A = this chain, B = another copy of it.
Amino acid sequence: MKRYLLAPGPTPVPPEVMAAMSAPIVHHRTPEFSALFAEVERDLQFLFQTTQEVMTLAASGTGAMEAAITNLLSPGDEAIVVNGGKFGDRWTKICAAYGVVVHEIAVEWGEAVEPAAVLGALDAHPAARVLLMQATETSTTVLHPVEDIAALTRERETLLVVDGITAIGVLDVPMDQWGVDVLITGAQKALMLPPGLGFVALSARAWEQTRRARLPRFYFDLARERAAVTERTSAWTPAIGLVVGLRAALQLIRKEGLPQVFARHARLGAATRAGVSGLGLRLLAPRAPSPAATGVWVPDDVDGAQLVRYMRDEMGVTVAGGQDRLKGKIVRLAHVGYAGAFDVVVGIAALEMALSRFGHRVRFGQGVGAAEAVLEDGWTRCRS
């Protein structure tokens, strides 16, 4: 059975990247690897739109999130968390593990945070050292207004820490221009790699803050990692094969061009939403949809968990279900990373056939046709 990976991470790996990673492993303490590492660093800065060092950690995204906490805070410090989903909640949990006091901005699942709510929290907790949020909350397929929030934190002492794991390489998050203090991403989304790398970059004032931060850290000591990066190496053994793949992936992104990459994701998101709506289904996040993945309410007459399992096991199409309180209630179709027009077509076609199989009334082709109208309209702008 042919398999299609349409989940919001891990995402499919392009053949060019697979081929690069199948080359023999080089040693990491060699001029060859140093040159590779320097090239990757330059391209990561291009991707993050920053002049700061981007640290590449042998860890998944959660490791980079933890690094942000432990490198910026001290025991008993206060943090504001935008919590509108499973990944917002993860910020709270990491803080709890390290004795950081959390002030949560609770956001309804499926909604974006209101900048006014952030402003209120910043005013209410002026001692908060950091504001922790996601650029896109993958569990609810919501896009949060990072630019508006950065405009608030720029004027304050509170640092803005953005989990951009399903956002960097998907949509425009110009770190330096917006004044994001810490920006994080992972390998297995827009970077089109197998999981195993986390990335983090810090603003000048965030680096300043690390010097006062007393939470315990060793593997994720970012100052040590930054010193290594300036020596064109890493503090600890790097995930060599993944870094080799990263070079190939970043080359693909540079070749396509960042504006084109962002436009492609926007187009695939719009097509997916059109397809889902064409089927008469309701979007989970209609007001602030992420261009990386689209959440859809499963109709009441269908069991979402069964639907996802059927699509995966019988059709070979892996989509994501809901997490935590959304379990069994939604499906999430991803369109992030190595994704093109026909991934949307496959996803919507699979959804049509699977819904029909579970007794939900579907007119075959209705959703796909609505998606095609969006895809065809913008084809020359979105060659993918």
Could you tell me which A residues sit within 8 Å of B by CB distance?
1-2, 4, 22, 278, 314-317, 338-343, 345-346, 349-350, 352-353, 356-357, 363-370, 372-373, 375-376, 379-380, 383-384
- Contacts known (A2-B338, A379-B353, A384-B2); A369 close to B372, Cβ less than 8 A: no
Bound CA span A377–B17, Å: 37
Q: Smallest Cβ distance from A375 to chain B, in angstroms?
A: 7
Bound CA span A339–B316, Å: 12
- Contacts known (A372-B352, A376-B364); A384 close to B342, Cβ less than 8 A: no
Bound CA span A179–B315, Å: 38
Bound CA span A25–B134, Å: 48
Which residues does chain B contribute within 8 Å of A352, judged by CB atoms? 369, 372
Question: Can you show 28 pairs from A to B with CB atoms below 8 A apart?
Answer: A1-B383, A2-B339, A2-B340, A278-B365, A314-B379, A314-B383, A316-B342, A316-B383, A342-B349, A342-B350, A345-B349, A346-B346, A349-B372, A352-B372, A353-B376, A353-B379, A356-B376, A363-B369, A364-B372, A364-B376, A365-B365, A365-B366, A365-B367, A365-B369, A365-B372, A368-B368, A368-B372, A369-B369
Which residues does chain B contribute within 8 Å of A1, judged by CB atoms? 340, 383-384
Which residues does chain B contribute within 8 Å of A349, judged by CB atoms? 342, 345, 349, 368, 372
Bound CA span A108–B7, Å: 49
- Can you name the residue of chain B whose Cβ is closest to the Cβ of A310? B379
Best-buried of A4, A369, A383 by chain B (most CB within 10 Å) = A369
Which residues does chain B contribute within 8 Å of A342, judged by CB atoms? 2, 4, 315-317, 346, 349-350
Q: Smallest Cβ distance from A69 to chain B, in angstroms?
A: 37
Bound CA span A346–B301, Å: 29
- The A interface, classified by DSSP as helix, strand, loop or mixed, is helix
- Can you name the residue of chain B whose Cβ is closest to the Cβ of A22? B22
Which residues does chain B contribute within 8 Å of A343, judged by CB atoms? 2
Q: Smallest Cβ distance from A253 to chain B, in angstroms?
A: 14
Q: Smallest Cβ distance from A346 to chain B, in angstroms?
A: 5
Q: Smallest Cβ distance from A380 to chain B, in angstroms?
A: 7
- Can you name the residue of chain B whose Cβ is closest to the Cβ of A366? B365
User: A370 and B365: CB pair below 8 A?
Assistant: yes
Which residues does chain B contribute within 8 Å of A346, judged by CB atoms? 342, 345-346
Which residues does chain B contribute within 8 Å of A353, judged by CB atoms? 372, 375-376, 379
17 other A-B residue contacts (CB within 8 Å) besides A1-B383, A316-B340:
A4-B342, A314-B380, A315-B341, A315-B342, A315-B379, A316-B383, A345-B346, A345-B349, A349-B349, A352-B369, A352-B372, A364-B370, A364-B372, A365-B370, A365-B372, A366-B369, A368-B368
